[in-house]
Amino acid sequence: MALAEARGRLLRWPRVLLFGDSITEYSFQENGWGAYLAERLVRKCDVVNRGISGYNTRWAKLILPRLITESTSADSIVAVTIFFGANDSALKELNPKQHVPLEEYAANLKSMVQYLKSVDITADRIILITPPPLQEAAWEKACLAKGDKLNRCNATTGQYAQACVQVARECGTDVLDLWTLMQKNQDFSSYLSDGLHLSTKGNSFLAAQLWSRLENKLSALPSLLPYWRDVDHTNPEASLL
């Protein structure tokens, strides 16, 4: 086969898309949950980080159609995580820019799931993730260091987590209820670095919980390109093209 012809047969890696706020954006840092997934899926999938720090669902639903379109990318996506709520649940009177009312938050999540379905990403490939619990004392300290007041509370975050779970139930998607799971251990502060974002332990916890859901979905995916010992070194074109 001519090399020119081979170049036309593009190798297309399946993709796992991580869509969320700063907790997703930071997930490729050392010991991050996104990096964990990427390591587990190397040679099988590209894990694509589309975390955008500070964003809420009101903004996210506008962006999603610019990230995934039926004509260009949807067919290669084997899983999508939608991980918002930590900013939506900010207290309106203290953080009006990021705050999104609870009912709108649920509607926005539902809208994003419906959009994904409209471009043929089926419900079984979508995982909603609730915001983690908020450790108020630690987050208040972080706020005060920036000259702000405590602008979130854990009980309110819990309402948004419950709404996320309900949307998943209504839309038929999987859901990872991080808010509830992390609080099964009464002292959940070790899961958080500053009361809001994940610590190394929190990243490991999320990675393990998420992998338990993704492993079955993705276990059948083959490794791309043959193992090097299996390449016919006398005629590599036969193995690689």
Annotated catalytic residues are 22, 194, 197
As a whole number of Å, the CA-based R_g of the chain is 20
Question: What does DSSP assign to residue 131?
Answer: P
Identity of the amino acid at 193: S
Long-range contacts of residues 120-123, Cβ cutoff 8 Å, at least 24 apart: 120/70, 120/74, 120/75, 121/68, 121/74, 121/77, 121/80, 123/171, 123/172, 123/173
Q: What's the rounded Cα separation, in Å, for the pair 74 and 67?
A: 9
In angstroms, the CA 107 to CA 124 distance is: 20
User: Which SS3 state, helix, strand or coil, does residue 144 take?
Assistant: helix
**Residues 161, 179: Cα–Cα separation, whole Å:** 6
Residue 106 exposure: Cα atoms within 13 Å on the Cβ side: 16
Query: CA-to-CA distance for 28 and 36, rounded, in angstroms?
Result: 8
